[in-house]
Amino acid sequence: MKQLVRVFATIFIVAFGLMFLAARLNMTEGYSGNNTLTIYNWGDYIDPDLIKQFEKETGIKVIYQTFDSNEAMMTKISQGGTTFDVAVPSEYMISKMKEEHLLIPIDHSKLPNLKYIDPRFMDLSFDPNNKYSIPYFWGTVGIAYNSSMLGGKKITNWNDLWDKDLRNQILLVDGAREVMGMGLNSLHYSLNDTNEAHLQEAKKKLASLTPNVKAIIGDEIKILLANREAAVGVVWSGEAAEMISENKELNYVIPKEGSNLWFDNMVIPKTAKNIDGAHQFINFMLDPKHAAQNAEYIGYSTPNKKALDYLPKNIANDKRFYPDPETTKKLEVYENLGKSMLAHYNELFLEFKMHRK
């Protein structure tokens, strides 16, 4: 009994000691005052150098926290108790957060660098006039494939995936919108289609893909494709860029029938304490030089037109990640279909997943 008490007392003292130490460390580094900015971003989604540069230029201390899914991010913000000043959700989540009044309007007059953003990426359906959000990165959904594993065969469109030679070779990303969108696009329907007949047709078409599907998973696709575990993967462009840098045999293609165009935008959530600092940060990231540095580091596509001039030519001219306007014309942004339609999409996706070989 005595020993037990002693053990508990030790744990108690150590825990409090660590808490005290952490608080002291934060204080000595100047984290306690009003002059801090809390950024809530995806993991590994910014060049850490830029944060240091921002701190030096403005004297604002940055506290950087990360999330790994839009849903987790929104839950944390809507529950409150946090002080996130800037967050970087994806477009469908922005319209959801807008509906639930979780965002603060952005003052464009405080963002002189906004003029560098390509007008193609401004004023989109999920946020008219960019009232609440400013583009950070963008990308597409497409097919990453290992041409040497396919005997030099090329993949150019969604329907190529139904090829009998690809038996058990395809990894799909575990997302209802992505996979249903692929089914709809392969039939030349819009990936925001809500026509029941079209959706059923897409589900049927997807079911016939089952023999080719090896697995439906998440971030693991990156490792599996890079390790030649499978030849083909349906992935986001940024993940593809990362994989290609790891395994040169891989290639990425935006399917001809059309695909999804996605955005991660910077927003100021309701929890913000340092709204002025948040604007400063957004403006800092919009600076073409900073945007270029960030894009080169992360490998995603920057929406900053001027930044392209600062990027190495082989990146800026890479049609796979900076598609020409003709290709982008065929890309669609996910519209917020509403809760019940989204539930229906998921139901169909679940049925597809249950379809046995």
Partner 1 sequence: MQSRTRNIYLIPYVLWIVLFVIAPIVLVVYYSFFDIEGHFTLLNYKKFFTPVYLRMTLSSFWYAFLITVFCLLLAYPTALLLTKTKHKQLWLLLIILPTWVNLLLKAYAFLGIFGAFGPANALLETLGIGQKQLLFTDFSFVFTSVYIFIPFMILPIFNSLEELSPSFVDAARDLGASPWTTFRRVIFPLTLDGVKSGCQAVFIPALSLFMLARLIAGNRVITLGTAIEEHFLVTQDWGMGSTIAVFLIIAMAIIMILTGSRR
Choose between 115 and 167: whose C-beta lies nearer to partner 1.
Answer: 167
Tokens 């957004």 belong to 282
Of 113-121, 244-252, 288-296, 334-342, the segment contacting partner 1 by CB under 8 A is 334-342
At 104, which helix (H) or strand (E)? none
Of 113, 165, 131, nearest in space to 302 by CA: 113
Q: What is the token pair recorded at 141? A: 């959904």
Q: Where are the alpha helices (DSSP H) in 100-175?
A: none
Nearest approach, Cβ of residue 343 and partner 1 (Å) = 4
Task: Please tell me the distance from the alpha carbon of residue 261 to that of residue 337, in angstroms, as a whole number.
Answer: 16
Show the binding pattern over residues 210-249: x = contacts partner 1 (CB under 8 A), - = does not. ----xxxxx-x--xx--xxx--------------------
Of 237, 281, 241, 243, nearest in space to 41 by CA: 281
Of 83-91, 124-132, 308-316, 338-346, the segment contacting partner 1 by CB under 8 A is 338-346
Nearest approach, Cβ of residue 15 and partner 1 (Å) = 21
Choose between 228 and 329: whose C-beta lies nearer to partner 1.
Answer: 228
Asked if 346 touches partner 1 (CB under 8 A), the answer is yes
Choose between 224 and 315: whose C-beta lies nearer to partner 1.
Answer: 224
Choose between 313 and 356: whose C-beta lies nearer to partner 1.
Answer: 356
Q: Which residues neighbour 129 within 8 Å (Cβ) at sequence distance 6 or greater?
A: 123
Asked if 68 touches partner 1 (CB under 8 A), the answer is no
Show the binding pattern over residues 21-60: x = contacts partner 1 (CB under 8 A), - = does not. ----------------------------------------
What distances in angstroms separate CA 223 from CA 32, 74, 167, 218, 228, one per listed residue? 40, 28, 20, 11, 9
Q: Cβ atoms within 10 A of the Cβ of 265, count? A: 26
CA-angle at 241, arms to 191 and 220, nearest 5°: 75
At 203, which helix (H) or strand (E)? helix 196-207
Residues that bind partner 1 (CB under 8 A): 69, 71, 168, 171, 174, 176, 214-218, 220, 223-224, 227-229, 339-340, 342-343, 346-347, 350-351, 353-354, 356-357
